[in-house]
Amino acid sequence: MNRPTFVEIDLKALDFNLKSLKSSVHSAKFFPVVKADAYGHGIDKITEHIQNKVDGFCVATSEEAINLRSKSKKPILDLEGPYDLADMKALLKNNIEFVIHSSRQLNFLKQIKKFKESHPIWLKFDSGMNRLGFSIEDSSIIFEEVSKKTNQIVLMSHFYSFKGNAKQLKKFKDLEKRCSSDEISVKKSLCNSGGMINYPASQKDIVRPGISMFGSRSNLKDKNIKLESVMTLKSKFISLKVIKKGEKVGYEGTWQAKKRTKIGILPVGYGDGYPINLSNCGKVLIKGKLAPVIGKVSMDMVAIDLSSISKISYKDEVILWGKGHEVDTVAKYANNSSYTLMTGITNRVKKVYKL
């Protein structure tokens, strides 16, 4: 590995976060979300490491689900559900659980001649997100129709906010009343990371934690819960130089030196997933001190003002986000989200797993 830009994935930190999050769960099953390549952390390595510590996995697409099935025997849920009838058949063939959220998907289900009645179906209802899901007013009819195919149904919805979800909780409670049965096993799943911690009453039978598993507290009201950074984006300088007062840095010269200034160039940019909107506002961690990003972030490089850092060398490690410099903090610099930063890491950045 010649290029000194890489992502370190700390699997011990992942274990710590799992333990911390699970201690907040009363009795619900734990189905972590590992979509988008496990939030940029590498789905193969992450699921292999934790599969004996969880009850199942959630992914976003059929492709992700089928790929994961070749590596795990745990229950797998496709959150978007099948796109067409062929897709539904492929999911069933691979013993993958899926969400049904539309009448279109319900019609696919009706066309399946031989449906194993023990195969769970997740019915998604819209409690306020207005994205995917049946109307709760139609829930009794939908529930009755799906119960003709399976004896295991999971009622589910999704929080749209982590600041106040009393209305959604109330709607979900109404859903539970409308969809009950003595003959069918009915489970409930409502909460993601924020819901699980912020609203313990929303934990129900199955929880679906996502970004918090990787150390982000961005959606958590309870700042006391202990989480560690799993992903740390690191690099080292490829150029160290001093520029004169008045000299400009980067494309279009958006930063100008007010005095004689020592700067360093890191081989990382938006082509690696370090966002351009960190231009002139980001900070990196060097030898325990923060140093500002100056000029525009380019595709392959970023410039750093080293005025406050003494005795800098090409061997010094620079943390762009991660341990000691939280991704949540960096996301705020960029007026962005931790989700975007984590999932934005591109394929040319090598992942190094640490146990």
Show which residues are catalytic. Answer: 35, 251
Label residue 95 left, alpha or beta by phi (over 0 means left) and psi (-120 to 50 means alpha): left
**Cβ neighbours of 310 (radius 10 Å):** 9
Q: Are strands 283-286 and 318-321 parallel, antiparallel or unpaired?
A: antiparallel
The tokens describing 347, both together, are 């394929």
In 3D, which of 329, 321, 309 has the Cα closest to residue 345? 321
Contacts of 103 (CB under 8 A, 6+ apart): 134
Contact between 338 and 255 under an 8 Å Cβ cutoff? The reply is no
**Position 287, amino acid:** K
Please provide the DSSP assignment of 131-199 as one string.
Answer: SS-EEGGGHHHHHHHHTTT-SEEEEE---S-SS--HHHHHHHHHHHHHS--SSSEEEEE---HHHHHH-
In 3D, which of 271, 266, 246 has the Cα closest to residue 258? 246
